[in-house]
Structure 1
Amino acid sequence: MDAAELRALLTPEGLRLLDEVGPIDRTADVVRLVSRLRADGHPPALVAAVLEQARLRSRARAKFGEFADRMLFTPDGLEQATRLRVAAVHAGRFRDAGIDVVADLGCGIGGDAIALAGLDLGVVAVERDEVTAAVAAYNLAPFPSARVEAGAAEEADLAAVGAVWLDPARRSEGVRRRDPAAWSPPLDWSFGLADRLPVGVKLGPGIDRDLLPAGAEWQWISADRDVVEAVVWAGGLQREGIGRAALVLGAHGAAELTGPRDADDAEAGGLGEYLVEPDGAVIRARLIGDLARGVEGRMLDPTIAWITTDAEPTTPFGAVFRVRERFALDVRTLKKELAARGIGTLEIKKRGVDVDPAEFRKRLALRGENSAVLVLTRIAGARVAILADRV
């Protein structure tokens, strides 16, 4: 979206038309809608801008729920925006630390700033791109404690703020920037702020750990089993004695596994009655050993993130499966055994073996009305297939 499109959207006609159209999902008859809007006399440029926003609002519901229906977005801004539920976790960290005013540097469309302002914290939201800054100003308009400044994060006046939140821009025109020095602001500069102020830095969950600062708290967050981000807390926002954290958000609420550093490995042993697949946040935080010990389990293999137990475990930090049978990882054997059990619906999970699940499924020629889970992995170096059921 360019400045002219945004100006058209922000007119009374543009906002009224956007509300009239509402979010557009993939099944909408866009051609017919465009024809109707054009026949009603709306300018082509305005129609195009409204339809783009309507599509973005539909996509944004996954992150912002019903709030998306009154927000504006840019494609890059929505891609990088924090889910509102996760942003609330960030905001709570600043509130609990007694921070009054937070600078959100590189605020994008304002997702995290909304969560901060929603807790009545003062927010100075800074965004380099002028169009994105204007979108953030629109989204933050309902919050009197927030203001938006157009400018570079590196040039922001931080004299009156108590802490800083950063979400360095890692995309430009849809292209991901691989070099942290090319992010906006650069990663080293972001971490360097911790020498002056309490700082939280949001990063992609697959961030190279060698880039992360020692002495900080490294927290990975998953939402509904999807690892959505890593956050580095430093400059006083890190919790005492915690160097690694896995925060798991789901239907159960919120649960967190923490440790002072990467967990020691748990011992490996034979296959038990149950399997636990650690949540991705636990794997990223390298707290698998602590999880295994917490459920009185052991590793299936020293090099693979599968835990096995003899008694049914209860944990929010992983998916639990009840083991039915173990087979060698052999297509002919599995095809025969699955057919004998009438299994036509099969969830295939693989870790530690070089198998293409889609191709493997075709070779099994599944048929029948029953369902199961098939875990393809290794035990003590041997390739195995474990037939199981989700608990």
Structure 2
Amino acid sequence: MDPEVARRLVSEEGTQALAAAAAQADPGSLSAATALRKRFDPALAAAALAQEALRRRAATKFGDSARRLFLTPDGLEQATRPDVARWRAERMVAAGVRRVLDLGCGIGTDALAMAAVGLDVVAVDRDETAAVLAAANLARHGERREGIGPATVRHADATAVDLEDRTVFCDPARRTGAGRTWQIGDFSPPWEFVTGLLARAEGACLKLGPGLPHRLIPPNTLTEWVSHNGDLVEACIWSSALADGRVGRAARLLPNRGELRVDPEAPDPPVGDPQRYLHEPEPGVLASGALPTLAAMTGAARVHPEIAYLTTDTPVDSPFWTTFEIRDSFPWREKDLRRWVGEHAIGTLEIKKRGIDVDPAALRRRLRPKGPGRATIVITPTLGRAQVLVVERVDAPARDGSG
């Protein structure tokens, strides 16, 4: 979107165009475009319809507040989920932070969360359209809430901004024309600038993609792989000034389900045949390398040296895995599985797998499940052979969580 069109979109004229776009059943349709062009010029009509389509998509991430946000496609994709942004902002407050510089603010969702907990925020983005929309988002938020911190937006290159005496939050752009990237040469701001922020006395926090390679983690930092409602969403690097002296790697579960720090001395888990209970670790546990730590804490074994499923003979409650009780098992052969599905009249079949070259969706179609029964199966290598494990989820008790 052109910056001038963005300015019109956030104006009173834009408010009217957005209301007209919201009234359309399908903002991407020719009829919607025709209707808006009768009232608004083509550029504003197109921008309002595109904005309405983005807001409808954004509802899954932002809920009802999506209706009040100004968005861009890249901004929506990279925007932090509200629970995660709030967790990070509250951690900053707990660390004594009062003033934050948000470099690469995008549409401003992290800045919104930081302002909401009373932090004084200056948000910066080199994309002029993003800066216009972020400023509008922060202004709207300020109109609706009392007691929030001051927030301003600057259109500038992050590398040229005076960092002042502020804590820095940086979410570098990690996209090229081909999509997301982990080529550090494609990062903006540059990777050397981003990691250099961590040495500042005032502290820094970096938001990175969950695919962060361990070899890129700067020394003397705390890196948390953050899962939200079971989805691995980011890796967050905290400078020592903000991590209360802690360093290393950890898995963080949100909302409010705690942190599992990697014990570098934890031994590799023992390997054994599946016992009564099978445990599927949270993705943040795997990404952070905390699997040996989790196994050592719980007395669990792996079902195979290269497979992440853990097993115990008794139920062990942990927020860092999903537990299944094994009800049946047999060697993995498609024809045997097809026979089992038919004999048990399974019509609803959930297929989970690790380490097996099979597409669960395609396999389900070939199995042709039919009948009133329901089942969850896990196909996995074990010691000596691949197996089908027929499992049932074990409901975990409610947890308040901490950390």
Q: Is the 8 A contact 1:76 1:172 kept in 2?
A: no
TM-score, normalisation: structure 2: 0.90
1:210-289 equivalent positions in 2, closer than 5 A: 210-250=215-255, 253-261=256-264, 263-289=266-292
Listed one character per residue, the Cα deviations across residues 311-363 of structure 1 (whole Å, up to 9, x for unaligned) are 22322212221111111110111111121111121111111122222232233
Report the CA distance between 1:242 and its aligned residue.
4.6
Pick aligned residue for 2:169 from 165, 171, 187? 165
1:114-129 equivalent positions in 2, closer than 5 A: 114-129=112-127
Pick aligned residue for 2:152 from 127, 132, 147? 147
**Residue 140 and residue 173 in structure 1: after superposition, are their counterparts in 2 closer, same or farther (change >3 A)?**
farther
CA–CA distance in 2 between the matches of 1:363 and 1:190? Answer: 49
Q: Is the 8 A contact 2:267 2:296 kept in 1?
A: no
Listed one character per residue, the Cα deviations across residues 1-50 of structure 1 (whole Å, up to 9, x for unaligned) are 1123213312312113314543978x6683333333334x2222221110
> Hey, what does 2:145 align to over in structure 1?
none
Q: Is the 8 A contact 1:203 1:231 kept in 2?
A: yes
2:36 is the alignment partner of 1:30: no
**Residue 168 and residue 29 in structure 1: after superposition, are their counterparts in 2 closer, same or farther (change >3 A)?**
closer
Q: Is the 8 A contact 1:262 1:286 kept in 2?
A: no
Report the CA distance between 1:78 and its aligned residue.
1.0
Q: Is the 8 A contact 1:128 1:152 kept in 2?
A: yes
Superposition RMSD on alpha carbons, in Å? 2.1
CA–CA distance in 1 between the matches of 2:21 and 2:33? Answer: 10
CA–CA distance in 2 between the matches of 1:311 and 1:196? Answer: 48
How many pairs align? 386
1:196-207 equivalent positions in 2, closer than 5 A: 196-197=200-201, 198-207=203-212
> Hey, what does 1:360 align to over in structure 2?
363
CA–CA distance in 1 between the matches of 2:278 and 2:363? Answer: 22
Q: Secondary structure at the match of 1:73?
A: coil
**Residue 280 and residue 246 in structure 1: after superposition, are their counterparts in 2 closer, same or farther (change >3 A)?**
same
Q: Is the 8 A contact 2:27 2:49 kept in 1?
A: no
Percentage identity across paired residues of the two chains: 40
Q: Secondary structure at the match of 1:109?
A: coil
CA–CA distance in 2 between the matches of 1:138 and 1:23? Answer: 22
- State the AA in 1 paired with 2:59: R
Listed one character per residue, the Cα deviations across residues 76-120 of structure 1 (whole Å, up to 9, x for unaligned) are 111111111101111112111101101111111111111111111
CA–CA distance in 2 between the matches of 1:170 and 1:157? Answer: 23
> Hey, what does 2:10 align to over in structure 1?
10
Q: Secondary structure at the match of 1:8?
A: helix
Q: Is the 8 A contact 1:323 1:389 kept in 2?
A: yes
Report the CA distance between 1:134 and its aligned residue.
1.0
CA–CA distance in 2 between the matches of 1:51 and 1:120? Answer: 34
> Hey, what does 1:175 align to over in structure 2?
179
Report the CA distance between 1:174 and its aligned residue.
7.0
Can you give the 5+ residue segments of structure 2 that lack an aligned partner in the other structure? Answer: 143-148, 395-403
Pick aligned residue for 2:339 from 336, 343, 366? 336
Can you give the 5+ residue segments of structure 1 that lack an aligned partner in the other structure? Answer: none
> Hey, what does 2:190 align to over in structure 1?
186
TM-score, normalisation: structure 1: 0.92
Q: Secondary structure at the match of 1:207?
A: coil
2:385 is the alignment partner of 1:382: yes
CA–CA distance in 2 between the matches of 1:105 and 1:149? Answer: 10
CA–CA distance in 2 between the matches of 1:310 and 1:174? Answer: 47
Runs of 4+ in 1 over 4 A off after TM superposition: none
Further displaced range: 115-124 or 27-36: 27-36
Q: Secondary structure at the match of 2:153?
A: strand
- State the AA in 2 paired with 1:278: P
CA–CA distance in 1 between the matches of 2:267 and 2:127? Answer: 44
CA–CA distance in 1 between the matches of 2:206 and 2:216? Answer: 12
Q: Secondary structure at the match of 2:309?
A: strand
- State the AA in 1 paired with 2:214: R
> Hey, what does 2:146 align to over in structure 1?
none
